[in-house]
Amino acid sequence: MANNYRYIGKSVPRHDGFEKVTGTAPYVADLKMNGMLYAGVKTSPYAHASILSIDTGKAEALPGVRAVVTGRQGATKLGIYMVDRSIIATDKVRYYGEVVAAVAAVDAETAARAADLIEVEYEPLPAVLDVKEAVKPGSPLVHEKLGEYAHIKGVFFPVAGTNIASQIKVCKGNVEEAFRRADVVIENTYEQPQVFHTPLETHGTIVQWGIGDHIRIYSSSQSPFSIRDLFSVAFRLPKTNIEVNVPYVGGGFGGKSGIHMEPLVGLLSKAAGGQPVKFIPSREQECATLPCRQGLVAHIKTGATKDGRIIAEQAEYLWDAGAYADYGVNIGRAGAVTGCGPYAIENVSVDSKTVYTNHIFGTAYRGFGHPEVFFGIERQRDLMAKALHMDPTEFRLKNLLMPGSRTITGELITENTGRADLCLKQVAEAIGLNTPYTPEEQAEFKKTGRYRAKAAAVLQKSPAIPTWCATSALLQMNEDGTLRLSVGGVDYGQGTYTVMQQIVAERLGFPIEKIHISHTINTNLSPYDWQTVASRMTVLCGNAVCEACDDLKEQLLEMGSVILRAAKHEIAIGDECVFVRQNPHQRLPLAKLAMGYTFENGNAIGGPLIGRGKAIAQGLTNLDPETGQGKTALDWTYGAHAVEIEVDTHTGDIDILHMVSSLDIGQVMNEALLRGQVVGGALQGIGTTLSEAVYYDDRGRLITRNFTDYKIPTFRDVPRKVEVLSVETPQLDGPYGARGCGEHPLIAVTAVIANALANATGAEFFDLPLSADRVYMRLHEHERE
Amino acid sequence: MKRSIHVTVNGIAYDAMCSENATLITLLREELELTGTKEGCGAGECGACTVIFNGDAVNACMVMAMEAEGAEIYTIESEAENGELSDLQKSFLEHNAFQCGFCTPGMIMSARALLNKNPHPTKEEIIEAMEGNLCRCTGYETILAAVQAIAGERDGE
């Protein structure tokens, strides 16, 4: 799109580079406080067991131990959407790795030793280890008192007396009748395991519960204000008592949103008489004790007419929430809203159940429900195209949402919403989707056993956020006329702060190097932000920053008008000056206005300049409890991926030869940062496709507790070629027309690779991961078929 | 039991007291307060704590502190000199070769150890030297490009 922006869209270098490449950027683990103690935790060796007794005597007697806490102190329940998780397990444990006791000691070694000395007597209970069994009547219950838990009423729907933490339905038209009319009906089940976020930095926290219940928290978090909020609610303390600081954060991917170890470490500090306590989870604790991404069993039935129109779709989603669903219930809801993908389907029934099991509990993970449901949705599209003997791209194009069509929740798509079809066409063309392999190439495939194939898939996501989700920004001028910008959202690596600097620079025509953005959030100093999730920062925070710029500009123009003795509309800003349009030599450097202007006789006017900005999601509604109709989308970012893969049929190994991704992000804000998000997100998606899975033994004990058993992509797993494309359909209420893009690259990667694998081998794959051993076995099974 | 240890880190000779069963990363981060070296796994699997130990890249979490007696060690703090970033650091900035930054010190030290021994490594040699360094954010391509730019040899696709 042609425009004359000076900063928007440019690959402006990140603002935080110097500190990161020198190792001077402070993360929580790097902080020390006077009198600081170290925490150790005692965790459950059972997936499901009653706690009969806990003996902390030996731990307490160990020299250097300052505090020991158990469920007696930590029974308070937490939860951002469903208040179901106590700080420390009380009567029973619900997953392997759940905290049953914790200690604070003078050093980490003593803390670990003391935790080992705590003796816990358990009585094992029947464990719920399969989400399909968990929903059957008569299944053991993970939460007997589900009916009593506090939750957001009218938004989440727990089913008391079952393992269903929340059930969300989206219904439109008449599916039964439409299935009877359909020429082709297909029905498949897709399964995917839980996966880990694995940020390189674990969830580190330091808490000091000081005298008079004044609490200071340092946390590796995406959610400083949500921690303050949830902490204050849990402990019934005023928000002014709680200060949350977030320094640099070593990756989050959703796993650091909401509240995690802060209350536990807070209890330890309180029990230790107010000494600060630090807890840096080990990698094993990060895997076993902190939350993961939910697993999903998706059962999808689709009906289409001969000419390739999808007229009915019925989806049942069973989310393996694990032991707690405090965040998970909203993932089940997001998965329902997006439950048929970016397609215009008249008759729909989606039933999304967030189900408790005795697995590690789930939480937000990059894409929030979408990467999970899109595996089934986009596999199902290729399978339906095959059943119809249609080209899959043509089939998709025939059914995609277009301006004028409505989503499954009834939201009208307009010219400004974005275009999945254009993204799909772009990637299909770039990868040469319809260029067949030559007979020579095919002969080579046969000879070597290494088969190549291509495929495409589409994706969509809107932020799954509360309707009232808000943010704010402050833009202050320094004495020398430079600017400092403060926002309440966190840049944990995605590059948001650099984009915010670009917005200020563009809006005020100001040199970007003179705009400082604070990298440390402090809830007593920083402006409010709900939390940094859902690819919402560019849009909401960007809008708040635009407003702060405009507010500052107004103040500058007003002062300029008085001092330069011209009407306000005759005053302009540029070159770090205010000036009279007609006579630009009548000018004043901004530095002279920054702290107020002083006339020659000593009179002063104005005062330190502060631009204020705010933004709130506009026009969102709760879903109708019966039909799931409503508007939940702040914006829809559509996109598509295409891949060419090579599968070695002798080993089951899959190589990604070429990957092309396109997103309709409205306006590219920073080309280099966009590429970073897409390439990084796509590789994370490739990990969840090819190797990543949380495994348990038959008693629910975690097997994958480190980077050896849980394999994330390395330098060796990078696709040979990645192309990043974009479509720019401006979002009229986004800053400069932009939409979010942080999560989207991960979505539908599983499906596009599985589709290509099917094209290469003729074997259909319904379960993840597509690890070499599983692919190999399936190919042999397919040969016998 | 704490014991004394003599070690040269970034050209400075230290006499430190360190627990007998401590690892090198604890010595560096807790005793010498050189916190640029990060701990990502504590088990030699992620490379975030890579430092140069007598010329070799090692995971500081897999070396006992006592093994460092008399050793010469370089950490990320040695890269910039007199307030000037090193060539690798500048290249990481130019190539946008980091996001959250947590793996970055380890990445730079792995690359430095390689370049010290082999100033012009091929792409494959870089991958071989750095495949033990995990990054969850970038997808690696910009890191590879940053190191290749210093290696001065661009082969391959």
Across the interface, whether the CB atoms of B140 and A199 are under 8 A apart is answered no
- Of A197, A201, A253, A200, the closest CA to residue A29 belongs to A201
| CATH class of segment(s) A33-125+203-280 | alpha beta
- Considering Cα of A448, then A450, then A451, then A454, what sign does the dihedral take? negative
Chain B residues in contact with A22 (beta carbon < 8 A): 36, 76-77, 79-80, 85, 89
Q: Tell me what the pLDDT averaged over chain A comes to.
A: 97
CB pairs under 8 A between A and B: 164
For domain B87-151, give the CATH number: 1.10.150.120
Taking a C-beta distance cutoff of 8 angstroms, is the pair A559, A568 a contact? no
Chain B residues in contact with A494 (beta carbon < 8 A): 99
* pLDDT surpassing 50 at residue A598: yes
- Which residue among B40, B104, B130 places its CB closest to the CB of A21? B104
What backbone phi and psi angles, to 5 degrees, belong to A163? -95, 10
User: Which pairing describes strands A37-43 and A85-86: parallel, antiparallel, or unpaired?
Assistant: unpaired
Q: Which of residues 141-200 of A touch B (CB under 8 A)?
A: 197-200
A205-224: pLDDT as tens digits: 999 999 999 999 999 999 99
Quote the CA–CA distance of A561 and A539 in Å, as a whole number.
32
Q: Is A314 on the interface with B (CB under 8 A)?
A: no
| Complete edge-to-edge strand list for the sheet that includes strand A587-589 | A571-574, A577-580, A587-589
A50-91: pLDDT as tens digits: 999 999 999 999 999 999 999 999 999 988 899 999 999 999
Domain range annotation of chain B? 2-77, 87-151
Structure tokens given for A211: 């005298």
Q: Is A204 on the interface with B (CB under 8 A)?
A: no
* pLDDT surpassing 50 at residue A268: yes
Best residue of B29, B125, B137 to probe chain A, by most A CBs closer than 10 Å:
B137
* pLDDT surpassing 60 at residue A697: yes
* pLDDT surpassing 70 at residue B97: yes
Across the interface, whether the CB atoms of B102 and A707 are under 8 A apart is answered no
CATH superfamily of B2-77: Beta-grasp domain (3.10.20.30)
Chain A residues in contact with B143 (beta carbon < 8 A): 715
Best residue of A33, A715, A717, A724 to probe chain B, by most B CBs closer than 10 Å:
A715
Structure tokens given for B33: 């307060």
**What's the whole-number mean pLDDT along residues A465-489?**
96
- pLDDT the model gives residue A464: 87
- pLDDT the model gives residue B156: 42
Radius of gyration of the CA atoms of chain B, in A: 16
Residue B45 Cα, gap to closest chain A Cα (Å): 6
A341-371: pLDDT as tens digits: 999 999 999 999 999 999 999 999 999 999 9
Across the interface, whether the CB atoms of B99 and A680 are under 8 A apart is answered yes
Within this chain, domains A17-23+470-616 and A295-465+621-784 share the same CATH topology: yes
Chain A residues in contact with B60 (beta carbon < 8 A): none
* pLDDT surpassing 60 at residue A727: yes
Quote the CA–CA distance of A749 and B113 in Å, as a whole number.
35
Structure tokens given for B91: 């290249």
Quote the CA–CA distance of A281 and A627 in Å, as a whole number.
43
Quote the CA–CA distance of A268 and A261 in Å, as a whole number.
11
- Of A508, A736, A578, A505, the closest CA to residue A569 belongs to A578
Q: Is A721 on the interface with B (CB under 8 A)?
A: yes
- Of A540, A456, A466, A546, the closest CA to residue A506 belongs to A546
Across the interface, whether the CB atoms of A495 and B99 are under 8 A apart is answered yes
- Which residue among A11, A18, A24 places its CB closest to the CB of B36? A24
- Nearest residue in chain B measured CA to CA from A31: B35
Interface predicted TM-score of the whole assembly (ipTM), two decimals: 0.97
Q: ∠ at Cα A740 (A735, A742), nearest 5°?
A: 140
- What SS3 class is residue A475? strand
Across the interface, whether the CB atoms of B45 and A676 are under 8 A apart is answered no
What letters, b where the CB count within 10 A reaches 16 and e where it falls short, cover A156-185?
bbbeeebbbbbbbbbbbeebeebbeebeeb
CATH topology of domain A17-23+470-616: Aldehyde Oxidoreductase; domain 4 (3.30.365)
Domain range annotation of chain A? 17-23+470-616, 33-125+203-280, 295-465+621-784
Best residue of A19, A20, A492, A718 to probe chain B, by most B CBs closer than 10 Å:
A20
What amino acid occupies position A310?
Answer: I
- Which residue among A25, A493, A672 places its CB closest to the CB of B137? A493
Residue A169: HSE in the Cβ half-sphere, 13 Å Cα cutoff: 7
- pLDDT the model gives residue B153: 53
CATH topology of domain A295-465+621-784: Aldehyde Oxidoreductase; domain 4 (3.30.365)
Residue A109 CB burial class (10 angstroms; 0-12, 13-18, ≥19): middle
A288-339: pLDDT as tens digits: 999 999 999 999 999 999 999 999 999 999 999 999 999 999 999 999 999 9
Chain B residues in contact with A676 (beta carbon < 8 A): 96, 99, 137-139, 142
User: Which pairing describes strands A184-192 and A77-78: parallel, antiparallel, or unpaired?
Assistant: unpaired
Q: Is A64 on the interface with B (CB under 8 A)?
A: no
Quote the CA–CA distance of A526 and A245 in Å, as a whole number.
10
* Other beta carbons less than 10 A from residue A417's beta carbon: 28
Across the interface, whether the CB atoms of A22 and B79 are under 8 A apart is answered yes
Q: ∠ at Cα A720 (A716, A722), nearest 5°?
A: 120
Find all residues with CB under 8 Å of A379, minimum gap 6, and list them: A188, A190, A751, A754, A755, A765, A766
* Other beta carbons less than 10 A from residue A346's beta carbon: 17
Which DSSP helix (H) or strand (E) runs through A779?
helix A772-784
Per 3-state DSSP, chain A is made up of helix, strand and coil in percentages (nearest 5) of 30, 25, 45
What backbone phi and psi angles, to 5 degrees, belong to A544? -65, -40
Quote the CA–CA distance of B123 and A629 in Å, as a whole number.
53
Chain A residues in contact with B36 (beta carbon < 8 A): 22-24
- pLDDT the model gives residue A79: 86
Chain A residues in contact with B142 (beta carbon < 8 A): 676, 679
Which DSSP helix (H) or strand (E) runs through A271?
helix A262-271
- pLDDT the model gives residue A785: 83
Q: Is A513 on the interface with B (CB under 8 A)?
A: no
Paired with A318 in beta bridges are: A297, A353
- pLDDT the model gives residue B1: 81
Structure tokens given for A350: 């989606």
Q: Which of residues 480-509 of A touch B (CB under 8 A)?
A: 492-495
Across the interface, whether the CB atoms of B93 and A109 are under 8 A apart is answered no
| Complete edge-to-edge strand list for the sheet that includes strand B12-19 | B12-19, B2-9, B72-74, B50-53, B56-59
Quote the CA–CA distance of A767 and A296 in Å, as a whole number.
10
Chain B residues in contact with A493 (beta carbon < 8 A): 98-101, 137
Chain B residues in contact with A17 (beta carbon < 8 A): 92-93, 98
Structure tokens given for A381: 């599209």
Taking a C-beta distance cutoff of 8 angstroms, is the pair A291, A256 a contact? no
Find all residues with CB under 8 Å of A518, minimum gap 6, and list them: A484, A485, A486, A526
Taking a C-beta distance cutoff of 8 angstroms, is the pair A177, A307 a contact? no
Residue A394 Cα, gap to closest chain B Cα (Å): 31
B29-75: pLDDT as tens digits: 999 999 999 999 999 999 999 999 999 999 999 999 999 999 999 99
- Which residue among A27, A200, A249 places its CB closest to the CB of B134? A200
What backbone phi and psi angles, to 5 degrees, belong to A296? -145, 135
Quote the CA–CA distance of A632 and B65 in Å, as a whole number.
55
Quote the CA–CA distance of A119 and A114 in Å, as a whole number.
10
Peptide bond into A13 cis (omega under 30): no
Q: Is A673 on the interface with B (CB under 8 A)?
A: yes
- Of A610, A642, A635, A607, the closest CA to residue A620 belongs to A635
Instruction: Report the percentage of chain B scoring pLDDT > 90.
Output: 95
Q: Is A598 on the interface with B (CB under 8 A)?
A: no
Across the interface, whether the CB atoms of B136 and A684 are under 8 A apart is answered yes
Chain B residues in contact with A722 (beta carbon < 8 A): 139, 141
- pLDDT the model gives residue B155: 45
- pLDDT the model gives residue A2: 55
B130-157: pLDDT as tens digits: 999 999 999 999 999 999 999 985 444 3
